[in-house]
Amino acid sequence: MLFIVLTIVVFVEMGLMLYLYKKLGDPEHRWLIHVFFSFFVAGVLAIPVEKYYNVTSHMWELLVVSIGFVVIVSLVARLREKKRELVVG
């Protein structure tokens, strides 16, 4: 059950990241999204191995979720900074 909840959170994070990235409009934070997606793909590729050796992937999912939150916070901070520059400048 926890795996399903964390997977849903990861997909919501991916959608939110893409929305914020498109709204921001500059490629400055593109590397953050690449880091998140590389962890996500590595997690997806690790699922068969985890199932074969009968281990849970909760820690991996929590790591991906936490990296996603870091990326989202960074994008939101940059978006606020950009809006502040437009208001002041």
Q: Are 24 and 79 spatial neighbours (Cβ–Cβ below 8 Å)?
A: yes
pLDDT tens figures, 15-55:
888 888 888 777 766 777 787 788 778 777 777 777 777 66
As a whole number of angstroms, the distance between CA 3 and CA 84 comes to: 39
Residue 89 in 3-state DSSP? Answer: coil
Burial class for 68, CB neighbours closer than 10 Å (0-12, 13-18, 19+)? buried
Amino acid identity of 40? F
Residues 66-72, mean pLDDT to the nearest whole number: 85
- Report in angstroms the alpha-carbon separations of 83 from 65, 67, 69, 78: 27, 25, 21, 9
pTM > 0.85: yes or no = no
